[in-house]
Amino acid sequence: MVTYPDPAKPEDILAYLAGLIRDVHHCLDDGVSFADTVMADLRPDGHLWSALVRHRALTLLDAAGLSPKRLLNSGIELERGRFTLKVFRSQDDGPPAPGHSRTRRAYYSQYRQGSLAIGGPAIPVDGTNLILDWEATSERAILLALSLPLGVWKHKGQPSIDWRRPVQLDDTGLRFESSDEGLEVPPRFEIGEDEEGEEA
C-alpha cells in the first residue's frame, strides 16, 4: 500500500513532489526565455506573454511524459499519486483568486474532479488539491510558491489557504525558503470593494 504525505505537513509534500516541481521550474524557465524571444519586437502584452510561457512549458512537460493538462487563463494541471497540482501565474504576489469559474472554485474548496454530482451536492473524494504559483523577476528568474487552498476568495482579497511556502531551487536542491514564510497573506482590498477585474 502506498503511503502519501500528510497535507498538513508541507515539507513532506515538497519532498514527495520535488521531482515534479523541479521539472515545472525548468519548463517555466525555458518558457520565459521563449516568450521573451517571441515578444521581443512586439508591443508588450502580459496575457500573450503568459500564454506563450504556458505553451512552451506544456510542450516540454508533455515531451517529458508528464501528461500535463492545459487549463484556461494560462494554467497547467499535473497529477502525482493522490495530489493534483495546478500551476498558475501569481497574482498580487500570491496565488490567483478562483474568479467565477465553478471548476476552479470547486478545486480551491478541495473537491476532486468528478466529485460534483449533477443536480446534487458536491461529494469530496480522497485526494488533495494544491496550487503552485509562479512569477518571473526582472532578472527573469522563476519564483515558485506551493500552497494548500481551503476555499474561495475575492479578487485582491485575502487568500483562503491553509499554508503557502515559497520554494527555492538552487545547487543544494529544492526546499522551502523558511518554515514560517508565507503563513499569513495580508488582505489586499478595502472594505466594500467588489470583484471588478475578476477573471472568468
User: Domain spans of the chain?
Assistant: 10-176
Q: pLDDT for 64-99, tens place per residue?
A: 999 999 987 779 999 999 999 999 999 988 999 999
Residue 186, C-alpha cell as written in the block: 495580508
pTM for this predicted structure: 0.82
Q: For the segment 162-171, what is each residue's pLDDT rounded down to a tens digit?
A: 999 999 887 6
Query: What is the predicted pLDDT for the residue at 145?
Result: 96
Beta-carbon contacts of residue 46 (< 8 Å; ≥ 6 apart): none
CA distance 45 to 58: 20
Q: What is the pLDDT of residue 123?
A: 44
Give the per-residue pLDDT at 194.
38
Walk across the sheet containing 161-170 and list its strands: 69-71, 75-80, 83-89, 128-136, 142-149, 161-170, 173-176
